[in-house]
């Protein structure tokens, strides 16, 4: 896979991740406790950070010069690891 394909994949994956979290949050806002809302926003932010990482590469920055998404989101990821959520979709299956 060429570098352009990898970057495009990372960009799409990050945006898809953010979109999924934000759509679910929007649809279920009224039924979710604040802690779950915060965790879902953190998931969306991780997706946006992944897309930003890809855009930084498109701009010509070297990968070793760019903070990876996980590093940018380190404090939020720690919070998520300490208090994971288990979402259930509309059909009752865990996601």
Span 15-29, pLDDT tens digits: 999 999 999 999 999
Q: Does position 89 have pLDDT exceeding 70, yes or no?
A: no
Q: What is the CA radius of gyration of the chain?
A: 15
pLDDT of residue 80: 64
- Where do the H-state alpha helices sit in 29-84? 34-58, 69-72, 74-82
Please tell me which residue, 63 or 55, carries the higher pLDDT value.
55
């Amino acid at each position: 896979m060429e570098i352009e394909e990898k970057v495009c994949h990372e960009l799409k994956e990050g945006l898809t991740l953010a979109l999924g979290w934000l759509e679910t949050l929007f649809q279920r806002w009224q039924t979710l406790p604040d802690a779950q809302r915060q965790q879902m926003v953190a998931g969306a932010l991780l997706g946006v950070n992944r897309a930003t990482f890809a855009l930084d590469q498109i701009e010509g920055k070297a990968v070793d010069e760019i903070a990876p998404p996980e590093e940018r989101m380190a404090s939020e990821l720690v919070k998520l690891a300490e208090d994971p959520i288990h979402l259930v979709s509309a059909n009752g299956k865990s996601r």
